[in-house]
Amino acid sequence: MILTPGRSGRYPPQGRPRRLAGFAVVSTDGLIVVDKPGGMTSHDVVARIRRLARTRRVGHGGTLDPMATGVLVIGVGRATRLLTYVIGAGKSYAATIRLGQATVTDDAEGDVIASTPAGAVTDEAVRAALAALTGEIDQVPSAVSAIKIDGQRAYKRVREGESVELPARRVTISRLDVLSIRRDSPDVVDVDVDVTCSSGTYIRAIARDAGLALGVGGHLTALRRTAVGGFTLAEAATLDALEQRAPDVVNLPLDAAAGRFFPRRDAAPEEARVLSHGGPLDPAGITGPYAVFGPDGGLIAIVSERDGRARAEIVLAPA
Catalytic residues: 65
CA gap 284, 286 in Å, rounded: 6
CA gap 92, 229 in Å, rounded: 8
Backbone torsions φ then ψ of 281, nearest 5 degrees: -115, 165
Answer for the pair 168, 201: CB distance below 8 angstroms, yes or no: no
Q: Identity (one letter) of the amino acid at 201?
A: T
C-alpha distances out from residue 235 to 32, 140, 263, 285, Å:
9, 32, 21, 32
Task: Supply the DSSP string of 257-311, one letter for each residue.
Answer: HHHHHS-EEEPPHHHHHHHHTT--B------SSEEEE-TTS-EEEEEEEETTEEE
- Which has the closest alpha carbon to 99: 13, 195, 183, 3? 183
Backbone torsions φ then ψ of 249, nearest 5 degrees: -100, -10
Q: Collapsing DSSP states into helix, strand and coil, what is residue 139?
A: strand
H/E stretch holding 213 = helix 203-214
- Tell me the torsion sign for CA atoms 25, 31, 33, 39: positive
C-alpha distances out from residue 79 to 126, 251, 253, 279, Å:
43, 12, 8, 21
